[in-house]
Amino acid sequence: MMMEGPFLVAVIPGLFIILLTWWFRKRKLSLFVRLLPSIMAICASFVSFYYGYVEVRGFEGAAYGFLAFFLLCYSVVGYLIATINPRLKNHR
């Protein structure tokens, strides 16, 4: 339950990050706007880790660390969605 709880809590904002990034990419907005959800998630991840490590501490604080890790994973996926150009594929 130690890993599943933070993962399930991170799924909702993670899916929001991915869908928002995909929608910004589909609308062909600038790269900065497409990267905003990922940047915000990285900031939230660092704040969550800091809060768990400094303020809460101990076994309960580890859950905040896991939450920060999963949010960071979702932000990396959002970053890849925002930056990879779909036209780079080989067309025959």
How many domains, in total, are found in the chain?
1
CA distance 4 to 18: 20
CA distance 14 to 37: 10
Residue 90 within a domain: no
Residue 23 within a domain: yes
Q: Which residues contact 68 (CB under 8 A, 6 or more apart)?
A: 45, 46, 48, 49, 52
Q: What is the pLDDT of residue 64?
A: 94
Q: Give the mean pLDDT of 70-76.
A: 96
| Closest to 8 (Cα-Cα) out of 70, 65, 75, 76 | 70
Residue 92 within a domain: no
Q: Give the gyration radius of the chain's Cα atoms.
A: 15
Residue 43 within a domain: yes
Residue 14 within a domain: yes
- Which domain, by its residues, includes 73? 4-85
In this prediction the pTM is 0.87
pLDDT tens figures, 8-53? 999 999 999 999 999 999 999 999 999 999 999 999 999 999 999 9
